[in-house]
Structure formats: C-alpha cells, structure tokens
Amino acid sequence: MNMVKRKYLICCCLLMAATFFLGKTFAQNPPVIIAYYSGNAARVDSFEVEKLTHIIYSFCHLKGNRLSVNNAGDTLTIKKMVALKKRNPTLKVLLSLGGWGGCKTCSEVFSTTAGRNEFAASVKELNEYFGTDGIDLDWEYPAIPGYPGHRYVPGDKQNFTELVIALRKALGEKHEISFAAGGFTDFIKGAIEWDKVMPVVNYVNLMTYDLVHGYSTVTGHHTPLYSTPQQRESTDNAIRMLDSIGVPRNKMVIGAAFYARIFENVADVNNGLYQAAKFRNGVPHRAWERVLSADSGFAYHWDPVAQAPYLYNAKKKWFVTFDDTTSMRLKMQYAIDKGLHGVMFWQLNEDKFSGGLLEALYISRQRYFKER
C-alpha cells in the first residue's frame, strides 16, 4: 500500500471515529426544555412538569449583598417546585436573581469582591436549604442600559465575569450556573466577556423575545426565528453572532414566548406589520382564545421569512406578535439542527395546564429521540 493510500485510509478512519463519537455525545445530551415560573404555589403543580428538564423560580432579589426570597409565599412556591421532583426525578430546579426591574442594586453590589463573595455564599446557603440545583442570573443589564433609572457602568462587564467565577468557587461543579442574556445586538456586543464567562457557566438562556417591546414605536416580530430585510434582530441573528465569536453552540439556549404583545393605532397597511404603533399590553397564551379570537376580528398571518405568526385586527387597528405551536416546533427543531443546548421560555404560568405551547415544544423534542 503506497503512502498516499495509507494516509487516505487513516484520515477516513479518524473521520468515521470522530463522527461516531460526536454523534454519540450529542445523543447523550438531548435538548433541554427550560421553564421560568413566576406565580404562586397553588398553580405550579397543575402543569405537565414531566415535559420539562428545568424549572426556574422567578424571582429572588438582593437584600444587601445577599440573595433573598421575598416572603413566606415565595418560600412555599420554591418548596412546591422542588417537590415536583417526585413526579419528574430528573427535573432541575433553579433559583433566579433579578428580572426586568428586579436588579436595581446589582451594579453596586457586584462591583466589589466582598459583595460578590457574600452573594455567592448566600446562593450556596439557599440552594442547600431548599434542595435546589443552582442559580440563574437575570441582571438586565450589565454595562448597557436596561430598566430605566438602574445603574449601569462599563465595569459591570468585568464584574459579571468575576461574579460567575465567585459563584463557581462557592457552588462547585454540582450546581448549575446559567444567566439570562439579551438576544439583541447591543447586549451581545457590549454586556458580557463571552470568552471568559462561558467556560465557567453551564449555559446561557438567550432572551430571543421582546425584540420588539414595550418601548417600540414600530410593529415587528417580538420573537422571530429569522431576520427579515426590515428587522435584523432575531433568534438566528443572535446565534450567528455568538457562533462567530466562539461561544459553544452546546451552551446556547434559545428563548420562546408564552405571551403575545399587542400594539394599537396601527395602520391597515401590510396587515399592520412594520407600521408605526404604540404598545398596548401583553396577553398570556392561556387567554388567547378569549381575547384574540377570529370572532373578535383578529386575522391570522404567517411570515415565511421570519418564520413567525402575527395577527391584525383591522377594525380595532391592533397588531399582535407572538409565538404559537408552529413557531415553537420550529424553534425546537432549529435547536436540534444547530446542536444547541435547547429551548427555554417565559413563562410557564402563562400557558394552559395541558395542550398548550409546552406540549408543542415537547412533541418536537420527542422527534429527536425517534431520529436516534
């Protein structure tokens, strides 16, 4: 056998081995379905939690430098969530810090070593007390403008890195560390030291929703899968940007929305899409049949470029942007095709108890197992 043939056969064998190994590795790590939950203890066990891999309590807040549960009702909710492991033994339950408007003092507290270390110690204590599995950081946002009036400074970017390092030292490898990241360009470019943070955390929850939000003055898709000529921000845009700077795909979780956003004073042009408007309100998925029905004048449309649904009511001049069962299935399939960690959503308490958007995600995830 000549040298050229030998090298060729060696390369083929190595390629086959690598393909087998990578395929086996991916098969051992099926996509996650992560639910944020904001609600009381009475409702949480009415949902089909067997279809989840993770559920995140939303939200804890800072009290001084420490992670704090607000009241006895919230404590009961967390305990009820942990008790769900009896129904789903593999379920991971995490605590989350912050949320929109819930991280007023984060910039100050996390600017010092003492503040970060005290916070990390308190996270460990709460996880041990409740029997929870980790922490999700929902600081909106480090280093860039977020909730109006909340402090943000350039140093937040480095301080966030030091924060996750302090948490990993305190929690060890047993507990998960994740963070909620804005799914838009300014956050991806300006808020996080991705090369330093991602090796420390388990995954990032990309908030690829609210890309058109309560401050927007033009309609669009608030949680599209793909960009359009009129709207750059999308799930795919966020993944491409992160991929280009070396963020591991298997640590990316894309976001889906269990609520619609309604805009008013929208001209009857292009079925209301990309028109001047004023945000009106949000509507949870469980209320859509009552509030956004065809009988009430809402016409359904599908954007084949964005891979996203929308509604327009010509009589009321209302435009509605949302995720539905079709876009949910497409997002899960996208996560599988791209080798991502999975899909998360805000939030479980806005879904139906059964037959809702969670079920659509779950059905799409099950196809992953059938294909393997």
Chain segment 116-143, per-residue pLDDT in tens: 999 999 999 999 999 999 999 999 999 9
- pLDDT (average), residues 64-70: 97
Query: Binning pLDDT at 50, 70 and 90, where does residue 20 land?
Result: very low
Query: Binning pLDDT at 50, 70 and 90, where does residue 371 land?
Result: confident
Q: What is the pLDDT of residue 28?
A: 47
Q: For 27-31, 199-203, 244-248, 276-280, which range has the lowest pLDDT when averaged over its residues?
A: 27-31
Q: What is the pLDDT of residue 368?
A: 86
Q: What is the pLDDT of residue 29?
A: 86
- 3-state DSSP call for residue 308? strand
CB 329 within 8 A of CB 365: no
For residue 217, give every residue at least 6 positions away whose Cβ sits within 8 Å of its Cβ, in sequence order, or none.
Answer: 276, 277, 278
CB 147 within 8 A of CB 140: yes
Q: What is the pLDDT of residue 352?
A: 97
- pLDDT (average), residues 41-47: 97
Helix (H), strand (E) at residue 205: strand 203-207
- pLDDT (average), residues 355-360: 97
Separation between Cα atoms, residue 325 and residue 117, nearest integer Å = 43
Q: Tell me the per-residue pLDDT of 79-113, one tens digit each, with 9 for 90 and over.
A: 999 999 999 999 999 999 999 999 999 999 999 99
Tell me the β-bridge partners of 206: 181
Q: What is the pLDDT of residue 370?
A: 82
Separation between Cα atoms, residue 256 and residue 279, nearest integer Å = 20
17 pLDDT higher than 70: no
**Peptide bond preceding 141: is omega within 30 degrees of 0, i.e. cis?**
yes
341: how many CB neighbours lie within 10 A of its CB?
A: 23
250 pLDDT higher than 50: yes
12 pLDDT higher than 90: no
Alpha helices, DSSP H, located in the chain: 3-27, 41-44, 72-83, 106-109, 113-130, 156-171, 185-190, 194-197, 235-244, 288-291, 325-338, 357-370
Query: Binning pLDDT at 50, 70 and 90, where does residue 198 land?
Result: very high
Q: What is the pLDDT of residue 237?
A: 98
